[in-house]
Amino acid sequence: MKQLTQSLKDGAMQLLDTPFPSVSTNSILIRNYYSVISAGTEGKTVKDARLSYIGKAKARQEEVKKVINLAKSQGIADTYKTVMNKLDSPSPLGYSCAGEVIEVGTDVKNFKVGDLAACGGASAVHSEVVSVPINLAVKIKSPEFIKESSFATIGAIAMQGVRRADLKLGENCVVIGLGLIGQITMQLLIASGVEPIGIDIDNNKVELANNLLGNISYSRNRTDLEEIILEKTNGYGVDSIIITAASSSSDPIELAGRIARKKGKVVIVGAVPTGFNRANYYKKELDLLMSSSYGPGRYDSNYEDKGIDYPIGYVRWTENRNMESFVRLVENKKINISPLISHEFDFENAKDAYDLIISKKEPFTGIILKYDTKKSLSKKVSFEHKEIEKARVSVGFIGAGSFAQNFLLPNLKQKVLLKGVSTSRSNTSRNVLDKYGFSYSTSNSGDILEDSAINTIFIATRHNLHASLVIDALAHNKHIFVEKPLCMNESELQEISKLYNTKNNHLMVGFNRRFSPHIQKVNQLFKDDLPKAINYRINAGNVPIDHWVNDPEIGGGRIIGEVCHFIDLCQFIAGAKINNIHANNMSTANNLFDTLVINLGFENGSTASISYFSNGSKLLSKEYLEIFYAGSSAIIDDFKTINIYGSKKEKLKLSKQDKGHAEEVKQFVNSIENGLPQPIPFEEIYNSTLATFKVIESIENRQSIII
pLDDT for residue 504:
92
DSSP 8-state assignment for residue 144: G
* pLDDT at 73 (0 to 100): 56
Q: Higher confidence at residue 70 or residue 236?
A: 236
**pLDDT (average), residues 276-299:** 93
Kindly give the pairing relationship between strand 217-219 and strand 129-133: unpaired
User: In the chain, what percentage of residues exceed pLDDT 70?
Assistant: 93
pLDDT in tens, 418-438: 999 999 889 999 999 999 999
d(C-alpha 310, C-alpha 625), whole Å: 46
- CA 292 to CA 555: how far, in whole Å? 27
Map residue 28 onto helix, strand or coil.
Answer: strand
Please write the tens of the pLDDT for every residue from 219-231. 999 999 999 999 9
Residue 592 has pLDDT above 90, yes or no: no
Contacts of 227 (CB under 8 A, 6+ apart): none
Which amino acid would we find at residue 361? K
Instruction: Indicate left, alpha or beta for 657 from its phi (over 0: left) and psi (-120 to 50: alpha).
Output: beta
Q: Is the pLDDT of residue 681 over 70?
A: yes
State the pLDDT at residue 647: 84
Residue 7 is predicted with a pLDDT of 84
- Average pLDDT on 567-592 reads 91
Q: Tell me, what's the pLDDT at 383? A: 77
> In the prediction, which pLDDT does 414 show?
86
Whole-angstrom Cα distance, residue 362 to residue 342?
10
pLDDT at 76 (0 to 100): 66
Instruction: Give the pLDDT confidence score for residue 71 in this predicted structure.
Output: 61
Contact 537, 613 (CB under 8 A): yes
Phi, psi angle pair for 467, to nearest 5°: -60, -50
Instruction: Report the C-alpha gap between 309 and 295 in whole angstroms.
Output: 13
Compute the average pLDDT of residues 292-318.
Answer: 93
Query: Considering the chain, what is the average pLDDT of its residues?
Result: 92
Measured CA distances, 154 to 97, 119, 373, 697 (Å): 10, 10, 23, 47
What value does the mean pLDDT take over residues 270-290?
92
pLDDT at 649: 92
pLDDT digits (tens, 9 = 90+) for 169-199: 999 999 999 999 999 999 999 999 999 999 9
The HSE-up count of residue 220 (CA atoms within 13 Å, CB side) is 18
Pairing of strands 172-176, 13-17: unpaired
**Distances from the Cα of 22 to the Cαs of 91, 122, 132, in angstroms?**
17, 14, 10
Q: Is the pLDDT of residue 692 over 60?
A: yes
Give the mean pLDDT of 651-672: 94
- Using a pLDDT cut of 90, give the percent of the chain over it: 80
The pLDDT of residue 93 is 92
3-state secondary structure 468-513: HHHHHHHHCCCEEEECCCCCCCHHHHHHHHHHHCCCCCCEEECCHH
The predicted-structure confidence for 40-75, as pLDDT tens digits, reads as follows 778 777 777 767 666 656 656 666 666 566 666 556
Mean pLDDT of 295-308: 92
Burial 443-459 (b: 16+ CB within 10 A, else e): bbbebbbebeebbbbbb
> Tell me, what's the pLDDT at 46?
76
Q: What does the pLDDT read at residue 322? A: 97
Contact between residue 288 and residue 274 where contact means Cβ atoms under 8 Å apart: yes
Q: What is the mean pLDDT of residues 191-212?
A: 96
User: Per-residue pLDDT tens for 68-99?
Assistant: 666 665 566 666 666 666 666 788 999 999 99
Task: Cis check for the bond before 311: say yes or no (omega within 30 of 0).
Answer: no
